[in-house]
């Protein structure tokens, strides 16, 4: 893998990730760009003991532009985009409308009960392919593996930034999810705090261990591997519908070896992940007559706490509960955090096992 670093016209970093040393990428961004906003702030919710990020400048971010004005496509035919080069394999760059910024300087007025501080951190965009009509499910295995290596590179580097406590790699796919750019891409957030979900999982896992019941994550994986909800299993990974799934279609992917984060995965584990993940994504898209909207969320260990206890895994879920129906978070889910599901996990697992992924999807072997 070749990594090339450059800066965009407003000072944001951009990284080209290429399969080999041959490509020469354009490094100069000729656009006259305004400065990136650094006004994000955080306020602490005293009732839930959680930080809430406020980034009002994001109201101005690009929203569903036509394909010929996509900011994530390569710069071609006189049209300058976020990527200066006329082609690329995988690109990662700092978000132009970040929720978190290493340059955040706003000092909001807080109080002893509700403290506030600048929302320091970093938000990056990961472009999976230069093809506007691609998706992660249509990537060739070598291209998907390059994305995994880019995730590992950025996780490692962002974890070293001052004040960063957790790195979150994720993909939102589909307008139903709220995606504002249709080009195949994901994002990476470097948080200045440990997220609520991770904090709770580690606390529960700690109680499980203290009760001399072993490792919670390993116990869950062992029980699921022996049960009826496995969708795909390989040498290094198992993809299963969790017994207490909250979403209409939900799959968790666990490596068979406990590791804290993506950089800790071996080459064999990364290759095997690509095989299983592409299989699962294509099964998702085979469930209905249209591609399934989803969120793919990497659950990585925090930077400084809980690393021996955490267990890297991927949570993949969709809000589509039927071909023409979406799962909306109504009163019980939104107000109380108490999920009520419409389908049994065992039925979802069986449907995914029966789904036949298209064999004609990959965008071309490299």
Question: What fold characterizes domain 2-195?
Answer: HIT family, subunit A (3.30.428)
At residue 63, the pLDDT reads: 82
Considering just the CA atoms, what is the radius of gyration of the chain in Å?
21
User: Which of 144, 366, 359, 135 has its CA nearest to residue 272?
Assistant: 144
User: Which of 232, 207, 158 has its CA nearest to residue 309?
Assistant: 207
| Contact by Cβ (8 Å): 217, 258 | yes
* Residue 92 token pair: 């990662």
Cα distance between residue 315 and residue 5, in whole Å? 30
At residue 360, the pLDDT reads: 46
Active site residue 185: yes
At residue 130, the pLDDT reads: 98
Choice among 183, 185, 252, 313 that is catalytic: 185
Cα distance between residue 243 and residue 39, in whole Å? 42
Tell me the average confidence (pLDDT) per consecutive run of 10 residues in the chain, 366 residues long: 97 97 96 90 96 87 89 95 98 96 82 94 98 97 98 98 97 94 97 98 96 93 98 98 98 98 98 98 94 97 96 97 93 96 96 82 48
At residue 57, the pLDDT reads: 81
**CATH classification for the domain delimited by 197-354, as one of 3.30.420.40, 3.30.300.30, 3.30.428.10, 3.40.1190.20:** 3.30.428.10
Cα distance between residue 135 and residue 139, in whole Å? 7
- 116-118 β-sheet, strand order: 50-54, 41-45, 116-118
Contacts of 262 (CB under 8 A, 6+ apart): 148, 151, 152, 155, 169, 298, 300, 312
User: Which of 257, 225, 224 has its CA nearest to residue 242?
Assistant: 224
At residue 359, the pLDDT reads: 60
Could you give the residue range(s) of every CATH 3.30.428.10 domain in the chain? 2-195, 197-354
What backbone torsions phi and psi does residue 143 show, to the nearest 5 degrees?
Answer: -70, -40
At residue 365, the pLDDT reads: 42
Tell me the pTM.
0.96
The end-to-end CA distance of the chain, in Å, is 13
């Amino acid at each position: 893998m070749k990594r090339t670093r450059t800066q965009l016209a407003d000072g944001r970093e951009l990284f080209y990730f290429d399969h080999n040393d041959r490509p020469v990428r354009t490094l100069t961004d000729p656009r006259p760009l305004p400065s990136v906003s650094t006004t994000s702030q955080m306020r602490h919710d005293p009732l839930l003991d959680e930080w809430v990020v406020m980034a009002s400048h994001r109201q101005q971010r690009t929203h569903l532009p036509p394909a010929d004005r996509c900011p994530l496509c390569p710069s071609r035919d006189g049209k300058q985009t976020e990527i200066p080069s006329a082609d690329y394999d995988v690109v990662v760059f700092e978000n132009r409308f970040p929720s978190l910024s290493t340059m955040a300087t706003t000092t909001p007025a807080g109080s002893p009960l509700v403290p506030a501080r600048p929302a320091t951190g970093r938000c990056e965009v990961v472009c999976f392919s230069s093809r506007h009509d691609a998706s992660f499910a249509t990537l060739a295995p070598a291209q998907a593996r390059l994305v995994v290596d880019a995730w590992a590179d950025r996780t490692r580097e962002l974890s070293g930034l001052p004040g960063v406590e957790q790195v979150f790699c994720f993909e939102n796919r589909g307008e139903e999810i709220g995606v504002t750019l249709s080009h195949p891409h994901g994002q990476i957030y470097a948080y200045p705090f440990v997220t609520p979900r991770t904090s709770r999982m580690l606390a529960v896992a700690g109680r499980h261990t203290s009760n001399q019941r072993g490792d919670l994550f390993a116990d869950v994986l062992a029980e699921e591997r022996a049960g009826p909800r496995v969708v795909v299993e390989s040498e290094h990974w198992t993809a299963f519908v969790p017994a207490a799934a909250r979403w209409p279609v939900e799959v968790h992917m666990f490596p068979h070896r406990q590791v804290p984060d993506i950089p800790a995965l071996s080459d064999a584990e990364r290759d095997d992940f690509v095989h299983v993940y592409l299989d699962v994504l294509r099964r998702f898209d085979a469930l209905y007559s249209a591609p399934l909207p989803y969120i793919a969320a990497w659950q990585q260990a925090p930077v400084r706490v809980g690393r021996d206890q955490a267990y890297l895994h991927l949570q993949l879920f969709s809000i589509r509960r039927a071909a023409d129906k979406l799962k909306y978070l109504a009163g019980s889910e939104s107000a109380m955090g108490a999920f009520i599901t419409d389908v049994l996990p065992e039925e979802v697992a069986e449907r995914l096992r029966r789904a036949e992924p298209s064999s004609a999807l990959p965008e071309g072997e490299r």
